Structure 1
Amino acid sequence: MRESLRTITDSAAGQDRPKLRKAIEEIVEAGFAGAQLRVHDERGEWVGSAGVRKLGEPAKPPTNGRFRIGSTTKTFTATVVLRLVAEGTLGLDAPADDYLPEYGLDRRITVRMLLQHTSGVFNFVGEVYDDGTFAPGIPAIDKEWVDNQFHTYQDEELVRLALSKPARFAPGTDWSYSNTNYVLAKLLIEKATGHRYAEELRRLILRPLGLSGTTVPGASPEVPEPHAHGYYQYQDAGQWKTVDATRQNPSVLSAAGDLISTTEDLHTFFSALMSGKLLPAPLLAEMRTPHPQSGDYRYGLGLFVEETDRGGTILHHNGGLWGWAALMYGTPDGGRTLTGSLTFGDAELDLAAMAGALEQAKRRLVKEVFCGGRAGSADGAADPTQPTG
């Protein structure tokens, strides 16, 4: 019954918001298998989907479907850390080594630096340096990833691999997006509280907000029903191949990108966070203050901060991983949000083309929801949320 009601809402709302309908249809035309979108604004709630739930089948993606949210997870993790700071369990400017002495972290790395990506710690999925050279980490692209799609990684394994590599820079002197920071954040949450990360996430966010569609999968490859299917395209011996990436072991990203959620849960979470229901005002202000070294990315503590050409501000943290992309945007008061999921299909797109298509999709939607459909508004910098975070 719930799904039939969603379908009716989608159909009726689609007549009222033709530009939103057109935007998600254009996303599918650009090469995505499917898209689901939820918008909350002064006109109320709009939900819709386009494309297909599964390649070869006619059904559309469910508008209440669950999906992998990738690096959008980082905002949840940062919020848990800041809630523990508010409780006095963690010190925001305390050395992370105080909580995790077994890893021999540079004593200059603080909890804050982990959340804002200024620690300098190597990204365990690999690093692209300014001169274009690539330092590999765990298997993260092409056939290497496919062959390891169901491998279970331990948090300690990911961190120790990263720490075995040279730091990108001295702590606090620069900015570089690194999934390792958020695996370390998970470990210090667990060390400081004596509880599993999932328990603290449920205690501090999921239960208070009633986010029943959000789960921490651990090493389980399953996505709870209902859900669409995401696909990964790669080249092997010069030939394009497609694998169904719906089932994959998300332990490779841990608390940097493993959560499963819904557009409704992401709306509820982000609206509550932005409106001050989860954090004290001083800590929310810290979260929304970009670090100067993050440049055009304008990254705070688990959040990107973007200025529109109409003088407004939007905050966001999108996510992307093998076969999936997630969208989470909102205004500072939480009154307007855009949350969504995109699934990749069998279009023959390399990583650069895939990232470009995703960026164009985000721009279309942000322009329509936050900038009144005006071109050139709120495009901002692209998130460094590649298919591995």
Structure 2
Amino acid sequence: AGLEPTGEDLAARLDAYLSANFPQVGMPGAAVAVVDADGVRYLATLGDCPGADAPFVVGSLSKSFTAVAVMQLVEQGTVDLDAPAARYAQGYDVPDEVTVRSLLNQTSGFGSRDSLSEAADGRLGDTFGSFSYANANYDLLGRVVEGASGDPYARYLDEHVLGPLGMTASTADPVRAETLGMAPGHRDWFGLHLADGFRHAQGDDAWGGPASGYVASSVQDMAGYLRMYLNGGAADGGGRVLSADSVRRMFLDRVPDPEGDTYYGMGWTSFNWDDGELVLSHDGQVENYVASMCLLPERGIGVVVLADANDNAGGNSRFFDLVSGVVTAAVGGVPAPVDAQWTALWRQRTDVLYACAVLVCAAPLLLVRRWPRRLASA
């Protein structure tokens, strides 16, 4: 710590890395920022990104915004972390054992693929008490925020989190997001990234909502958001969004992931590098965007990278490799190049499987057309 490149040195390193490796990711556009407590160390937009103030859907990075909102209500004495979530989210059939804290730390037992309406079935899930990632946890927390504050989730976030942080190009309201000049979201169609106008479904029956995965934010705004954490909950103008103690609790009130060496708590995954340094991060993937953010509290550095496409046939893996390279460069290391070769083979195999599936589905239709001719000639 303390030996990280800054100024022209950092800009030269990252410009060179991104120039060589962003084309290997294969996504249409991206935005990158490296920040410290005092400001922005580096910011760049790539490809078809309209600018630093263009919002992207940030996927599960949204969960930390919801955690901030909950911790504000905890500070006010409006919410008790160890109270049943149903006390605040009335109308949802959730056992009293499911507390606000268990939702924040993803130990409620909700199923990973459950919508909120499916999760709130009155029963404790099999994974209750241990970490099991589920969007429904944070969708219900969005209802907790609404019940405790009396405001719709998007309005609460605007007035108490985004507004105080000066995040004018950010919102949890999908209708308003469209008016802010969004970076165009792309879905993958057989290796082609197409901006097909996809819109995620709304409501409790949808798998994921604004509180768990559909906040929209620009790279410029996300830079300010990460600085808030590095400044112990204070906004750039000096106003306080959270107390320093609440920020510390967001970092360290966590539970282990039984399937790895990481922890999860309050919208952040955390782990330690080999030298013991604490790292906090979160990735996000929705239908037509990917995102990743990282905090290194001991160094006072934050990194965020956003992209305007989703490609589960290898492109997302390349994106996260690029993010790792940006973080490595930001701390003064030598980043590994993005390897596109293995994902190209993955893409070829995926396309062959899709083509086979189409042929299997189409074959009966082709045979149906031949049978009348055979019967007529019999």
Interval containing the TM-score (normalised by the shorter chain): 0.7 to 0.9
Match of 1:256 among 193, 212, 215: 212
Q: What does residue 158 of structure 2 align with? A: 202
Match of 1:365 among 305, 317, 326: 326
Mapped contact 1:250–1:258 kept (Cα < 8 A): no
Note the C-alpha offset of 1:62. Answer: 2.1
Note the C-alpha offset of 1:175. Answer: 0.9
Q: What does residue 268 of structure 2 align with? A: 303
What letter is aligned with 1:82? Answer: M
Note the C-alpha offset of 1:120. Answer: 0.9
Mapped contact 1:233–1:242 kept (Cα < 8 A): yes
Mapped contact 1:223–1:247 kept (Cα < 8 A): no
Note the C-alpha offset of 1:166. Answer: 7.3
Q: What does residue 316 of structure 2 align with? A: 355
Q: What does residue 86 of structure 1 align with? A: 75
Summarize the alignment of residues 212-227 of structure 1 with structure 2, pairs less than 5 Å apart. Answer: 212-218=168-174, 222=178, 224-225=180-181, 227=182
Q: What does residue 192 of structure 1 align with? A: 148
CA distance in 2, matches of 1:220, 1:64: 15
Note the C-alpha offset of 1:356. Answer: 2.0
Structure 2 CA distance for partners of 1:16 and 1:114, relative to 1, 3 Å? closer
Q: What does residue 284 of structure 1 align with? A: 247
Match of 1:331 among 273, 296, 307: 296
Identical-residue share of aligned pairs (%) = 27
Greater C-alpha Rg: 2
Match of 1:317 among 247, 266, 282: 282
Mapped contact 1:218–1:250 kept (Cα < 8 A): no
Structure 2 CA distance for partners of 1:109 and 1:89, relative to 1, 3 Å? same
SS in 2 for 1:80: helix
Mapped contact 1:310–1:371 kept (Cα < 8 A): no
CA distance in 1, matches of 2:332, 2:132: 29
CA distance in 2, matches of 1:43, 1:216: 25
Note the C-alpha offset of 1:221. Answer: 7.3
SS in 1 for 2:33: strand
CA distance in 1, matches of 2:60, 2:243: 24
Q: Judge which range, 313-322 or 333-342, deviates more.
A: 333-342
What letter is aligned with 2:255? Answer: H
Note the C-alpha offset of 1:23. Answer: 3.0
CA distance in 2, matches of 1:255, 1:306: 24
Note the C-alpha offset of 1:96. Answer: 0.9
Q: What does residue 65 of structure 2 align with? A: 76
Match of 1:46 among 42, 45, 48: 42
Mapped contact 2:33–2:40 kept (Cα < 8 A): no
What letter is aligned with 2:146? Answer: E
Mapped contact 1:180–1:256 kept (Cα < 8 A): yes
Mapped contact 1:275–1:334 kept (Cα < 8 A): no
What letter is aligned with 2:12? Answer: P
Structure 2: where are the runs of 5+ without partners? 1-6, 234-240, 338-378
Mapped contact 1:229–1:245 kept (Cα < 8 A): no
CA distance in 1, matches of 2:179, 2:290: 14
1:18 aligns with 2:28: no
Note the C-alpha offset of 1:306. Answer: 3.0
Paired residues, what number?
A: 315
Structure 2 CA distance for partners of 1:89 and 1:216, relative to 1, 3 Å? same
RMSD between superposed Cα atoms in Å = 2.9
Note the C-alpha offset of 1:68. Answer: 1.1
1:46-84 CA deviation, whole Å, 9 max, x = no partner? 22123334xxxxxxx423322111111111000000110
1:267-293 CA deviation, whole Å, 9 max, x = no partner? 111211342223233332221123124
CA distance in 2, matches of 1:274, 1:109: 31
Mapped contact 1:275–1:332 kept (Cα < 8 A): no
1:216-263 CA deviation, whole Å, 9 max, x = no partner? 2245672622x432211146xxxx665415552363423111111111
Note the C-alpha offset of 1:367. Answer: 1.4
Mapped contact 1:14–1:48 kept (Cα < 8 A): no
Q: Judge which range, 248-257 or 196-205, deviates more.
A: 248-257
Mapped contact 1:223–1:260 kept (Cα < 8 A): no
Q: What does residue 345 of structure 2 align with? A: none
TM-score after normalising by structure 1: 0.72
CA distance in 2, matches of 1:245, 1:330: 33
SS in 2 for 1:102: coil
Note the C-alpha offset of 1:370. Answer: 3.1
Mapped contact 2:61–2:284 kept (Cα < 8 A): yes
Note the C-alpha offset of 1:105. Answer: 0.8
SS in 1 for 2:291: strand
Match of 2:185 among 215, 223, 230: 230
Structure 2 CA distance for partners of 1:118 and 1:223, relative to 1, 3 Å? farther
CA distance in 1, matches of 2:98, 2:123: 15
